[in-house]
Structure 1
Amino acid sequence: MRTRYTLFKSDTEPIVIIMAILLVTGTINVFSSSYVLAAMDFENPYYFLQRHLQWLVIGIVACWFCRRMNYQRMRGLMFVGMGITVFFLVAVLFVGTTINGAQRWLAFGPLSFQPAEFAKLMAVLMGAFSISAVLSKEHFRMERDGSQVAIPFGAILVMAFLVYREPDFGTACIVFGVPLLMALVLLVRPLLWLWIVPVTFGLAFAIGTLQPYRMKRIDVWFDPWSDARAAGYQMVQSLSTIGSGGIFGMGFGDGVSKYEYLPEAHTDFAFAIFSQEHGFFGVLLIFFLFAVLLITCMRVAARAKDTFGQVLALGIIFLVLGQALANLAMVAGLLPVVGVPLPFISYGGSSLIVTMAGMGMLLGIADRSQDAPPAKKKPETAEERRSKMHAVR
């Protein structure tokens, strides 16, 4: 019997290794992209790094806890979690901290967090609960079982509306868009996508144009140099930052765009600073890591032992790696500026904790799939035994 050799002992090992590499890379990049701003505004070049490390520790604990917890138990706690999330989303509209014209943060002592980030993960859980309930039924009737879809997606829509009111249109699109994408992929026939997808994008575009500043973002997306000193400034600086990195980059800490040239250099546009300092080969490394992470996570989703685990794993993939794709496209000018952080790389406590918690759930799904007992082999029938006997003869 031929021995089968594999590079990793389990599906979780490559995921943990890639996460560790990305987290270390992100921590180094957070310091490199923020120490100038931290020294000027807080007289401490390590200010953002220290806070990032605090959030990172909390994120690792959240990842460990979610991995250890049986994801099946989350069904019973789902509506409680949704109620708590909605409570915080409402609270932030009244007592939240306003930064750059948006009221998105709740402060608890020296730390603050964004409830909208936790709404993303809760929306994925609610969507997985609803979709898996539909898939587990052999015959689904909307008049009889429609509440299993309408109630969870109605709650998701409420959360998305509350996030939109902060205002945070980009995050609101993620809160409702990821579960909608899960439903389209798993429940809807591809032919129906021909009208559902255009209608959805049309509604999102119409809502996005209700505010003049959002319409201005779309205008400068097509031609950022038409208003390079105002609305298009951030995009122009981002493209210039990426281009100036060349093949090998300027070197760690030597990027110049963080000297107040590129706004949000350590948050949404952290990847632009990374590109400037590490060049084309550094960018390829990040792309390669996210591509391998996608493949390994899809393997976990395919091997999950139950429908809820498969759908939940797919939703986490859409959430984490979908945000990565959106951020990379935004920084490169392929999408308008929507304020989506790059998972593992960008500075942001709430986003990091939610990302780590989601990956912990996915690792838990992988662990329980490997621990599941193998399926019992059916006993051979008399006809199968006779066929084998004829084959031997």
Structure 2
Amino acid sequence: MIQAFDLESAGRKSRADHVLIAAILLLTGVGLVTLYSASYAYGERFFGKGLYFITRQLLYGFVGLGVFFVASWINLEYLRKLIVPMVVVTAVLCLLTFMPGIGVTKNGAARWIRIGSTNTFQPSELVKLTLPFYLAHIFSKKQDRINSLISGILPPTLITLLFFFLIYLQNNFSTALFVAANAVFIFYLAGVRYRYFISGAIILAPISAFLVLTKEHRLRRVISFFIPDWEPLGAGYQVHSSLLSIGSGGLLGKGFGQGTRKIASVPEIHSDFIFSSFSEEAGLAGVFLFFILFVVFAIHGYRAAIKSKDMFRRLLGFGLVTMISSQALLNIAVVSGAVPATGVPLPFFSAGGSSLAITLLIAGLIVNISRNGEVDHV
């Protein structure tokens, strides 16, 4: 077990990217403060406890910081040996969401499994780590057969489709599509030929359209996006209220805890729409600083991936940084009405212990890559 925490090469120093670590910790801290402000009124109203959400988030946050530290030091080659159990365990956890007594269904979505009497875990969040890890491993291992349909393309495609449909069956189409899109990005970085992407698009585009059109709530969201005034008190209400909340912040915001639209105006403002609460209280200046933190995180994360010494770390780094960065961009695009509404949380900010813990675990692996990607330059 000691070997799991050995440095990648004996006798060489390793130094993590401290700017990257600072950005991650600042995002976590600002996210917790924002959640406290955004969720207090909701927790008081529906659970009789204003601290309901932040207490649970802090618990998962402490766990997340623990796994962040471990992930930043663990030997990635040791983890690669566990890739098959990782895939199997993640798939089994996704299946457990459908098992009575273990799975938890909320609003028609079976996305959680029960942990103890009060806590839950969302396995689809773990897929955001497991799938990029598996793809980085398999593509780096099969570079000489990368464009062989049977031995190179088919295995990672099947695993990607497996997780896509497991998440889709949980009534979580947006996360399924998001995870699959990030997987396609790793396929591209690995050097898969364009003809496979074209063939895949021809097959999957009509299937995706069918999956959207056969669910009423998805169709209503799409129609509401293209025709904002179609259902102002229905499918379009959440985004419309979010835009009013964002715009009310002005240049400097109303101040921490002083936002008013979080009380009842924006549904799920403590969760997927937490950015609108942050914008109202922090204003344009706070939003600018928010983007600076994420840009610093992305730049330093991608730089660590580029400097990595082997294909596995390079693909893993790009995949993990893109997973967090693109999720943040997608969430903000939804909240600001730039894309149809989806249920993708804002990393480091949205209420959801599973999301925070897995995000910090992913961030720890990115720091790990930065530590071992620059050792030759120390």
When the two structures are superposed, what TM-score results if normalisation uses the length of structure 2? 0.90
Structure 1 equivalent of residue 112 of structure 2:
105
Specify the code of the residue in structure 1 equivalent to 2:90: T
- 1:127 matched to 2:131? The reply is no
Specify the code of the residue in structure 2 equivalent to 1:127: L
- 1:335 matched to 2:339? The reply is yes
CA distance in 2, matches of 1:197, 1:248: 44
Structure 1 residue 186: Cα displacement: 3.2
Corresponding residue SS for 2:98:
helix
CA distance in 1, matches of 2:223, 2:230: 9
Q: Which has the larger radius of gyration?
A: 1
Structure 2 equivalent of residue 360 of structure 1:
364
Corresponding residue SS for 1:94:
coil
Structure 1 residue 191: Cα displacement: 8.2
Specify the code of the residue in structure 2 equivalent to 1:281: A
> Do the aligned residues in 2 keep the contact of 1:11 with 1:299 (CA within 8 Å)?
no
Residue 27 (structure 2) aligned to one of 22, 25, 36: 22
CA distance in 2, matches of 1:201, 1:282: 38
CA distance in 2, matches of 1:258, 1:310: 41
Cα gap change, 1:286 to 1:195, in 2 (>3 Å): farther
Structure 2 equivalent of residue 178 of structure 1:
182
Specify the code of the residue in structure 2 equivalent to 1:86: A
Relative contact order: is structure 1 or structure 2 higher (C-alpha 8 Å, sep ≥ 6)?
2
Q: Deviations over 1:99-142 (max 9, x none)?
A: 1221111111121110111112111111111222233x2x6561
Structure 1 residue 171: Cα displacement: 1.1
Corresponding residue SS for 1:103:
strand
Specify the code of the residue in structure 1 equivalent to 2:304: V
Corresponding residue SS for 1:260:
coil
Structure 1 residue 68: Cα displacement: 1.7
Query: Once the two structures are aligned, what percentage of the paired residues are identical?
Result: 31
CA distance in 2, matches of 1:258, 1:352: 21
CA distance in 2, matches of 1:363, 1:369: 10
Structure 1 equivalent of residue 123 of structure 2:
115
> Do the aligned residues in 1 keep the contact of 2:43 with 2:53 (CA within 8 Å)?
yes
> Do the aligned residues in 2 keep the contact of 1:123 with 1:176 (CA within 8 Å)?
no
Query: Larger deviation: 24-33 or 189-198?
Result: 189-198
Cα gap change, 1:334 to 1:195, in 2 (>3 Å): farther
CA distance in 2, matches of 1:295, 1:190: 27
Specify the code of the residue in structure 1 equivalent to 2:237: Y
Structure 1 residue 202: Cα displacement: 4.8
CA distance in 1, matches of 2:25, 2:166: 34
- 1:350 matched to 2:358? The reply is no
Structure 1 residue 194: Cα displacement: 6.6
- 1:275 matched to 2:282? The reply is no
Corresponding residue SS for 1:310:
helix
When the two structures are superposed, what TM-score results if normalisation uses the length of structure 1? 0.87
CA distance in 1, matches of 2:25, 2:334: 25
Q: Deviations over 1:266-311 (max 9, x none)?
A: 1100001000111111111111111121111111001111110000
> Do the aligned residues in 2 keep the contact of 1:224 with 1:233 (CA within 8 Å)?
no
> Do the aligned residues in 2 keep the contact of 1:316 with 1:362 (CA within 8 Å)?
yes
Structure 2 equivalent of residue 388 of structure 1:
none
Query: Larger deviation: 97-106 or 309-318?
Result: 97-106
CA distance in 2, matches of 1:90, 1:67: 29
Structure 2 equivalent of residue 47 of structure 1:
52
Structure 2 equivalent of residue 6 of structure 1:
none
Unaligned 5+ runs, structure 1: 1-8, 375-393
Structure 1 equivalent of residue 290 of structure 2:
286
Residue 142 (structure 1) aligned to one of 138, 148, 151: 148
CA distance in 2, matches of 1:45, 1:209: 39
1:1-393 equivalent positions in 2, closer than 5 A: 12-95=17-100, 96-109=103-116, 110-135=118-143, 137=144, 140=146, 142=148, 146-189=150-193, 200-372=204-376
Query: Larger deviation: 205-214 or 74-83?
Result: 205-214
CA distance in 2, matches of 1:305, 1:141: 23
Aligned residues: 362
> Do the aligned residues in 1 keep the contact of 2:146 with 2:192 (CA within 8 Å)?
no
Cα gap change, 1:141 to 1:232, in 2 (>3 Å): closer
CA distance in 1, matches of 2:86, 2:376: 28
Corresponding residue SS for 1:217:
helix
> Do the aligned residues in 2 keep the contact of 1:127 with 1:153 (CA within 8 Å)?
no
Structure 1 residue 185: Cα displacement: 3.4
Cα gap change, 1:141 to 1:211, in 2 (>3 Å): closer
Specify the code of the residue in structure 1 equivalent to 2:48: E
> Do the aligned residues in 2 keep the contact of 1:250 with 1:277 (CA within 8 Å)?
yes
What's the C-alpha RMSD, in Å, of the aligned pairs?
A: 2.1
Specify the code of the residue in structure 1 equivalent to 2:105: T
> Do the aligned residues in 1 keep the contact of 2:272 with 2:346 (CA within 8 Å)?
yes
Corresponding residue SS for 1:224:
coil
Query: Larger deviation: 149-158 or 27-36?
Result: 149-158
Query: Larger deviation: 153-162 or 54-63?
Result: 153-162
Unaligned 5+ runs, structure 2: 1-13
Cα gap change, 1:372 to 1:74, in 2 (>3 Å): farther
Corresponding residue SS for 2:97:
helix
